[in-house]
Structure 1
Amino acid sequence: MLCAQGVAAPLMLSSFLLQLVRADLPSGCLIASDILSCTNLGLKTVPKKFLVMVATLDLNHNHLECLDEGSFAGLPNLDTVRLAHNQLSGLTPGTFRNTSNILHLDLSSNQLNIIEDHYFQELVGIKELLLYNNRIVTVESKALSGLSNLRKAYLSHNRLTDFPFFSIQQHPNLTTLDLSSNRMPTLPVKAITALTEKVQNGLFLHNNSLICECSMYSLFKQWEYRGFASVTDFREEHTCLIYGEQRAIVRFLKHVRFFENCKIKPPVRKVSLEAEAGDSVMLDCITSLKGKHLNYSWVSQRHGYIVPPGNNNTLRMYSNGSLEILAAHKNDSGVYLCMVQNHQESSNDSLEVNVTVQIHRQEEEPFNTGFTTLLGCVVSLVLVLMYLYLTPCRCWCRKQPLPATPSPANECSAQSSILTPTPPATTEGSGRKVSNNKHVVFLEPIEKAQNGRPRAALALEHPKLAVTRSDADSVTSVFSDTTIVP
């Protein structure tokens, strides 16, 4: 019972504090976990106090006309703010002060006219910015330049007649910029082509008031060749005005007759291909052009200009534009350029294939490996023979008269047997040789005699090698270069 009361007390206190905090919020606000929703309550100002743990603040569908300085300060966990469908016509400097943790900001469906430089300068971590369906006519050059983490910006359905594309050239994370359904008559083609490929892939410019011209057509045609989503996803919505007349609208990606006189240079697509010498290699000329009147040709540095049926000796060309290298040679490596032309539609395409022919060396590898193994065996055998027969010796290798009886010279032979890996050919008894299958005698530690002089320990284990002379004579006979005659 005490335990149950101990648990209930903090819960009651927490509920009481929560009611105190909620007393400052407008009636009708809903709280769920870290989400605070105060939508469609007719609010004209932002509430002064919020719950500290709020991460998502939803104030959509109200009558907010302005935002005061620091309107969202004191919310360390706030990362999403939704202010869509209000009546905001501008933002006070410092509106988002101390809110650098905001990642998503929705200001769509308001009455914003100008996106000034100071609007979002505090939102250094913002990733998604929604500004569509406003009355924006101008975006100042520094409004988005400082937002290095910005990934998606939506400004469609506004009144833009131009946009500072140069201000987003260094954006490392920007992948989507929606400028569709505005009033742009022309496009700064050079500034747009200077953007990264990632930005161009997500740059949506359809449903504008573009005037039909070759530079504009060439830009979108190149995007089509490269398969950019900004073109392929809205192919039918890309329109332009012939001579600027509103009544003469053409879907220029579908009907290209008006641009027959435009010199369009599509981007060169590149493909790499590896082959082995002697194999047949097929180079396919893949093109986005369609029709029955396509003319194919190939150009290479070695073979020059290639047309059907090709060079019968080394090359063969087919009607679909494919080029076959009958028996690839190392000299066939290089760049092969396929060019496709459609004379009826005055369009062309190109494909660059980089061919690398490698020499097949699989048959040589066993010989090289076997030769290396054989050489290693021969060297090892020579080293073993040198080790067995050319080991240096100081005593028994010399030509000396063999004494009739054991002498200190025999001690030298015994000592040399200790120092050499093979046993010496000594005699035992009357003319009998020692067996050659005896184990090698390794060097044993030297013991000291009672008088402090060293004495060979081997003599203790082998009685036949024991000497009858004094220790001094034995040591002299072992370590001297001359034989001691008894």
Structure 2
Amino acid sequence: MALPQLSWLLLLLLLAGHAPRTLSCPRGCRCYSLAVECGSIALREIPSGVPPLIQTFFLQDNAIGQIRQWDLSALGQLRYLYLQNNSISALEPGAFRGQAQLLELALNRNRIHLLSADTFQGLEHLRILYLSGNQITRLQDHTFRCLQRLQELHLQENSVEVLGQEALVGLSSLALLDLSRNSLRTLQQGSLRPY
């Protein structure tokens, strides 16, 4: 009995080592057509095997400690990424390099204390950035230079003591900046200028 034509094609692909790769939902997560929900499941790192075309990724309320360069590299269609209430203390430079479509990034309520000029590289379309409730003490010059379309920057409830004179350079679209409940004592003239 002959196999249908499609079965022959699949058999040939398998024999050639080119089997179509299917990604399943990471263990403990719930996957929908364009979203993956992995909140509150005690994750220590961003799971692998996530469908690459997702647009929304919920990772809140876990124990994730860092974001590495390769953690999100296969998810180039992300629009919304929620990592609030984790233990993130390290954001590897270039970790967001492949996230050009990202519009909203929630990193609030983590343990982030240092941001560099390369931290947000690749986020050209980001509109909203939540960094409140971290341990940031200093905003260095050009920290947000890659975020020219950013409209909201939430930095409240940190320990910011120093705001570099050019820390906000590049934020030409900024409409809301929340620095409330920090430790700022003085501001240099021009330090709130976004360009």
Q: TM-score, normalised by structure 1?
A: 0.34
**Which residue of the other structure, out of 195, 204, 217, is the alignment partner of 2:193?**
195
Identity rate, percent: 24
Helix, strand or coil for the counterpart of 1:114? coil
Alignment of 1:8-87 (within 5 A): 21-22=23-24, 25-27=26-28, 29-87=29-87
Counterparts of 1:159-178 in structure 2, within 5 Å, are 159-168=159-168, 171-178=171-178
State the AA in 2 paired with 1:73: S
Q: Mark the structure with the bigger radius of gyration.
A: 1
Letter in 2 for 1:83: L
Structure 1 segment 146-157 matched on structure 2, within 5 A: 146-157=146-157
What CA deviation, in whole Å up to 9, does each residue of 1:338-381 have, x standing for no partner? xxxxxxxxxxxxxxxxxxxxxxxxxxxxxxxxxxxxxxxxxxxx
Question: What residue is the counterpart of 2:100 in the other structure?
Answer: 100
1:139-179 deviation line (CA, Å, top 9, x unaligned): 22121123111111110000011212534355321111110
Equivalent AA in structure 2 for residue 136 of structure 1: I
Distance 1:94 1:169, change over 3 A: closer
Comparing both chains, which one has the higher relative contact order based on Cα–Cα distances under 8 Å and sequence gaps of 6 or more?
A: 2
Q: Deviations over 1:230-260 (max 9, x none)?
A: xxxxxxxxxxxxxxxxxxxxxxxxxxxxxxx
In 1: Cα distance, 2:76 partner to 2:117 partner: 25
- SS at 1:87's partner residue? coil
Counterpart amino acid of residue 195 in structure 1: R
Q: What is the TM-score when the length of structure 2 is the normalising length?
A: 0.82
In structure 1, what is the equivalent of residue 15 of structure 2? none
Counterparts of 2:176 and 2:143 in 1: how far apart (Å)?
Answer: 16
Q: Distance in 2 between matches of 1:187 and 1:167?
A: 12
**In structure 2, the residue corresponding to 1:112 is in which secondary structure?**
coil
Amino acid at match of 2:69: E
Contact 2:79/2:101 (8 A) holds in 1 = yes
1:124 corresponding residue in structure 2: 124
Aligned to 1:180: 180
Change (3 A) 1:160 1:50: same
Distance 2:38 2:170 in 1: 38
* 1:81 CA displacement: 0.8
Determine helix, strand or coil for the equivalent of 1:22: coil
Which residue in the other structure is 2:133 paired with? 133
* 1:139 to 1:63, Cα distance in 2 relative to 1, 3 A: same
Contact (CA 8 Å) 2:142, 2:170: kept in 1 or not? no
Q: Does the 8 A contact of 1:71 with 1:96 survive in 2?
A: no
Distance 1:97 1:84 in 2: 20
Is the 8 Å Cα contact of residues 146 and 170 (structure 2) preserved in structure 1?
no
Displacement of 1:75 in angstroms is: 2.1
* Cα distance in 2 for residues equivalent to 1:76 and 1:170: 23
Residue 104 of structure 2 aligns with an amino acid whose one-letter code is: H
Residue type matched to 1:26 in 2?
R
Partner AA of 2:145 in structure 1:
S
Matched residue type, 1:182 = N
Moved over 6 A (4+): none
Q: Give the Cα separation in 2 of the matches to 1:170 and 1:134.
A: 22
Structure 1 residue 70, shift from structure 2 partner: 2.2
Q: 1:167 to 1:67 in 2, by over 3 A?
A: closer
Secondary structure of the equivalent of 2:166?
helix
**Contact kept? 1:121, 1:143, Cα under 8 Å:** no
List per-residue Cα deviations over 1:37-89 (Å, max 9, x = no partner).
10000000111121122100010000001122121122232111111000011
RMSD of aligned Cα (Å): 2.0
What amino acid is the match of 2:44?
K
Q: CA deviation at 1:34?
A: 0.9
Where structure 2 has 5 or more consecutive residues not aligned to the other structure, the ranges are 1-21
Judge conservation of contact 2:117–2:145 (CA < 8 Å) in 1.
Answer: no
**Structure 1 residues 43, 169: closer, same or farther in 2, change over 3 A?**
closer
In 2, are the aligned partners of 1:34 and 1:54 still within 8 Å (CA)? yes
Change in Cα spacing, 1:143 to 1:195, as seen in structure 2 (3 Å) is closer
Q: Deviations over 1:112-155 (max 9, x none)?
A: 11112211012122111110000111122121123111111110
Q: Tell me the distance in 1 between the aligned counterparts of 2:158 and 2:38.
A: 27
- C-alpha distance in 1, partners of 2:85/2:163? 24
Q: Partners in 1 of 2:27 and 2:36 — Cα distance?
A: 11
